[in-house]
A and B are shown apart, each in its own frame.
Chain A
Amino acid sequence: MSAVFEQPSLWQRVKPILFGFDGPLLTAVLILAAIGLVTMYSVGFDHGTRFVDHGRNMLIALLLLWLAAQVPPQRLMALAVPVYTIGIALLIATAIFGITRKGATRWLNLGFTVIQPSEILKLATPLMLAWWFQRCEGKLRAPEWAAAAAILLVPFLLVAKQPDLGTSLLILSAGLYVLFFAGLSWKLIVPVMALGAAGIVALIVAEPTICQPGVDWPLLKEYQQHRVCTLLDPAKDPLGKGFHILQGMIAIGSGGLTGKGFMQGTQTHLEFIPERTTDFIFAAFSEEFGLLGTLGLLLAFTFFLFRGLMIAAEAPTLFARLLAGSITLSIFTYVFVNMGMVSGILPVVGIPLPFVSYGGTAMVTLGLAIGILMSIARSQRLMQS
C-alpha cells in the first residue's frame, strides 16, 4: 500500500533530468546560440558546410551541457584532482613527445587522434583551485596560498613554454579569478592592476621608438612584439595582421547605426574580412546588424554573465561559488578580448567569440563550462527545496 507513495512515477524521476535547468541562464544561452547561428549562416554562405557544421557543434555542446548539468557539484569535486593530474601529465608528455608545428609544441598524438592538452587545463585549473580552497576552508594562511599559486603556475608555465601565450594567459586568468574570489588581498590586486594600466599607457606613448626594426623587447617573442606594434599602427603591416585590423574596423564602422542588413555585408561577402567565420566573425556581425546589433549582443552577454555571477552568489558551497565565479569571468574574458581585438583596442590574439565563432573544441569547452554552471544552479535550488 505504501509502495504507491514511496515509488515516484517514471515521469517524476525523469522530469528533473530533462528540465531542472536555470531558466534565465538557459534563455541567455539560447539567445546567444541563435545569434551565433544567424551570423554563421551569413558569413558561412560561400564557405561550404560551415553553417551546418556550426549547428552540429552546437548540438554536441548542448548534449555535453546537459550531461555536465547532471553531475552534482560534490561529484565534480571528486573529479578535480584526477582531471587536473591527467591534464598536467599530458602537458608534460606534450613537452617531451609533442608534435611541433610552426615552432610551437602544443599537440600530442595519442595514436588514434591528436589532442591539444592545454585545452583541458582551461577548466581543470579553476576546478582544482576551487577544490583546494574548499579543502582549506576557514584556515587560509601563507602556505595554503603558496600551494594555490603552485597549482596555478605549473600549468601556466608549461603552456607558456610551448609556446602558447594566448592559452597560457587564459589559464592564468581563470585561476586568478578563483584566487580573487577566494579572498586574495586587495593590497596585491590594486598595485598590479595599476602597474598594468601604466604599462599600457607607456606602450602607447613610446610606440614610435620601440617599434623600430631591430629593437628587441625583453620576455616577448618577436611575433608577439610584432602583434603589439601592429595594433598600435596597423598600417605598418598591410598584408598581414594589420590588414585584418583595418578591414575589421572598416566592416564595423560601415555597419553604422542599423547595419547593412542580414546577408548584405559587403566587407563580409566580398571577402575583405579574413578569418571571418572564426576570430573575426564579430566584424561581420557588426557590419550586418550595426550598433543596435552590437549593443544588443553586448546586452545579451551582460545578461548571461550577470546570471552566472548570481548563480555564484547563491551557490551552497565555497567550491561551487569559486567555480561558478571563475567560469563566468573566464567567459567574459573571451568575449571582451575577442571584441576588443576585432574593434582594434586589444592586440590580435587567436581567441574565439563564445557561441558565435566557428570551432569545435572551443564550443565543447563552452558547453561543459555552462553545464557546470547549470549543475551548481540546480544544487542550490535543491538545497532550498
Chain B
Amino acid sequence: MTELRNVERELDSFRGRLLAAALFVLFCFGLLAARLVWLQVIRHDDLATQAESNRVAVVPVVPNRGLILDRHGVVLANNYSAYTLEITPSGLADTLEATIDALAEVVEVTPRDRRRFKRLQEDSKNFESLPIRTKLSDEEVARFVAQRFRFPGVEVKARLFRHYPLGDVGSHLLGYIGRINTAEKTAMEDWDEEDIANYRGTEYIGKLGLEQAYERELHGKTGVEQVETSAGGRAMRRLAHQPPTPGNTLMLSVDIRLQALVEQLFGERRGALVAIDPRNGEVLAFVSKPTFDPNLFVDGIDTESWRGLNEDIDKPLLNRALRGTYPPGSTFKPFMAMAALNSGKRGPHTIIQDNLTFSFGGRVFGSPESDRPGPKDMRLAIVGSSNVYFYTLANEMGVDLIHDELKPFGFGRKTEIDVQGEVTGDLPSTEWKRRRFSRPEHQKWYAGETISLGIGQGYNNFTMLQMATATATLASGGQRYRPRLAREIVDVVSGERRRIASDALEPLPLKPEQVAVIRDAMGGVPKEGTSRAAFMGAAYASGGKTGTAQAIGLKAGERYSQIKADERKRDHSLYVAFAPLEAPTVALAVIVENAGFGSTSAAPIARRVFDYLITGAYPSEQDIALVREGKATAPVGAPRAATDVPLPSINGALLP
C-alpha cells in the first residue's frame, strides 16, 4: 500500500518537473520570439536597407605578396598590377560559349586563353569569378567598359600578378604560385580559424619550391574594407578600411648570378648542381636543368603548354637537384676511404696490389681502360681512381658497416632543406633490402652485391643535394648543417631582419689527422689526377673527385661500347669538390647526364664555379660555348668581372 503511494507520489513529482520543463521551453522560445520580433519588425527597415544595397559588404583586401631576392638583393619574384577580364559563369545571361564569342569581338581572346579558362573552370565552382583574359591594355579596357551593359557576369578587375623577372633562371628553386585548387581548399579546412580568415579573398598560393615552402611568410596579412555596393554588386564607396600588411621579403642565400652562369654552362644538357657553404649550410647555387618558365603558371597554364612540359622526354618539371637520384660512381670513393679510416678497417698506408680485376664468387669486377696496375695506398687509389682498391675495401667492410659509417654524412636520408618534395635516395644495407623488396628471394643480401658499392655503383642512389651536403661535411672535417636556400626574412613593416636558422647539427666525430688524409688525396685529383686538365692554372688549391656513373645497367654479355652510341644510355658525368683546399668556403656536387667521363663535362663546370666564387672571374663567351659543348678544359679567353655581365632577363616589356 505504501509502496503504491510512493510510486504515485513520484509520478506526481515527475509530472511537476515536466511542467517546469515545459515552462522553461516556453520561456526560452519566448526569448527567441522576442529577439526575432526585434530583428524582423523593429530593426527591419535598417537591416533591410543594409541587405538590399549590401551596405556592409565586408571585402577582404588581399595583401601584396612578399618579394624574393637573391643574396645580393637581385629581385627574383615581384608583383605588378594589371587589368583582367573575369567571367562569373553562374551570372551569365547567355551560354558561356556565346559570351566568350561575343567578348572576342571586343577584346582579343586567343585559343590559348580559351583553353586556360576551361582548365580553370574544371577546378572551381560556378559562382567563382575566373579570368578569361589577363594583362588587358588600356585601350582594351576602354573598349570593354563602353560595352559593359552587353555582358552581365563579366567584369574588368585590377589585380596583382606575380612576376618572375629572370624567367626560367632558378625556376626549380623559386617554384611558382597558382590558383588555389579544390584539393588545397579541402586541406585548408583543417587550418586554424585565424589562418582561414587570413586567406579569405586569397586566390593564389605557392605551389612549388620556395614559393610553397615560405607561403606563410610571403602571404602577408589580409586587410578589411567595408564598401558600399550597388544592387549589381559593384563597389561604390569605401566606408572603412583596415589596410593589409604586405608579405615579408625573402632573401636567399643563393647567388643568382652564379645560378644563371651554371645554367648557361649546362647549355642544352640535362643535370644538376648544388653548391653549399660548408661553414653554415647556405646554398649558393641550386641548379636543375632543363628549367621552365614559372611565369607560365601564374595565371593558369593552358592544357597544351602543360602537356608540352609534362611529356617532354627531358622532364623539365623534374627538380633533379632535389628529386633526381643517381649512382655516385667514383665520387663515392673519398667517402668510402673516410669510412675505412674511421672504422679502422684500413689505414692510409695499407698497400693494395691493383691488378685491374677483382674476382669474387665467380664474377670478375673490372677497371676502366685508363687505369694503371701496381701497388696503391689510399692517396694513390683516390687520385688515380683505382677500382680494385675500393672493391677489396667494400668486401672487407661489408654492406652494413659501410651503411653505418656513411649514414651520418646524410647519404640515403633527407637533408631537411627548406623546400618540400625531397627524396630519400638509397644507401643500401641488409635491413634496407629486406624492407625494400617484398618477395623473400629478393630480400636476402648477397655478398657479391657489396663489391660494386665500393665504387659507387650497385644499389647506391643519391641526389646531388645529398652529395653536396656530404662533401661539405667532409670538407669541413665533420661540421653538419641543414642546407638552407633562404637566408633572411625581412619584415616589411619594421624592417627587422630575421635570420633563418641553419641549425648546426651535431658534428661528426672525425679525427682531424684522418680528414687531412682524405683532403690531401682529394687535393691531388685536380693537381695531378683525373681533373687536372680542368683545373690547370687555378689561382687556388681545391679538392675534388671525378665520377662516371652508369645510366642504365649493362645486360649480360653487353659491352658499354655497344650502347655508347645511344645518347640517353651514355654514362653520367659527375664531380664533387670543395675549395679552397685548406679552409673551404664552398663544396659542390655536379652531374651532367649522359655526358661520359666526369673529367670532361662535370669538372669544367666546377672549375668555373670556384673561379667565380673565389677570384670573381666570369668566363668569356668563348669559354662558355666550349663548356656547353663538353669540350672545355681550363678557361680560355679573357675572364670578365662578374658585375660587368648583365643578368639574363625575359623582356622587361611585360612590366607596364
Footprint of B on A, CB under 8 Å?
46, 101-103, 138, 177, 180-181, 183, 223, 237-241, 243, 246, 249-257, 266-267, 270-272, 286-287, 290-291, 294-295, 298, 301-302, 305-306, 309, 312-313, 318, 321, 325, 328-329, 332, 336, 339-340, 343-345
Contacts and interface: CB of A to CB of B under 8 A. Distances in A.
A286 B190 CA distance: 30
B25 A321 contact: no
Give the interface size bracket for B toward A: 35 or more
A329 B21 contact: yes
B222 interface: yes
Interface string B19-44: 00110011011011101110111011
Contacts of A256: 40-41, 44, 48
Given A239-B222, A257-B41, A321-B14, 8 more contacts: A46-B126, A102-B191, A183-B10, A241-B193, A251-B51, A266-B52, A301-B29, A325-B17
Interface stretch (B53-61, B370-378, B463-471): B53-61
A253 B233 contact: no
A336 B14 contact: no
A343 B36 contact: yes
B18 interface: yes
Interface of B: 3, 6-7, 10, 13-15, 17-18, 21-22, 25-26, 28-29, 31-33, 35-37, 39-41, 43-44, 46-48, 50-52, 54, 56-58, 60, 90, 126-127, 190-194, 197-198, 200, 222, 224, 226, 233
A290 B37 CA distance: 10
B383 to A, nearest CB: 55
A290 B40 contact: yes
A343 B31 CA distance: 11
A272 B54 contact: yes
Contacts of A181: 14, 17-18, 21
A309 B14 CA distance: 11
A340 B32 CA distance: 7
Contacts of B10: 183, 318
Contact of A257 (B40, B47, B50): B40
Contacts of B52: 254, 266
A239 B60 contact: yes
Residue picked from A249, A252, A271, A286, most chain B C-beta under 10 Å: A252
Contacts of B60: 239
A97 B238 CA distance: 51
A250 B46 CA distance: 9
A313 B15 contact: yes
B44 A257 contact: yes
8 contacts: A101-B190, A239-B222, A246-B58, A266-B54, A286-B40, A312-B18, A328-B21, A336-B28
What secondary structure prevails in chain A residues at the interface with B?
helix
Nearest to A295: B33
Nearest to B22: A309
A250 B51 contact: yes
Contacts of A294: 36, 40
A253 B40 contact: yes
A291 B22 contact: no
B39 A239 contact: no
A46 B90 CA distance: 9
Nearest to B226: A238
Contacts of B54: 266, 270, 272
Given A101-B190, A253-B48, A345 B35 contact: yes
B310 to A, nearest CB: 30
Given A286-B40, A291-B41, A249 B47 contact: yes
B48 A345 contact: no
A89 to B, nearest CB: 27
Contacts of A344: 35
B48 A291 contact: no
Contacts of B35: 340, 343-345
Contacts of B32: 298, 336, 339-340, 343, 345
Given A302-B29, A336-B29, A254 B197 contact: no
A189 B54 CA distance: 46
Nearest to A343: B35
A137 B556 CA distance: 87
Contacts of A102: 190-192
A312 B54 CA distance: 47
Nearest to A101: B190
Contacts of A302: 25-26, 29
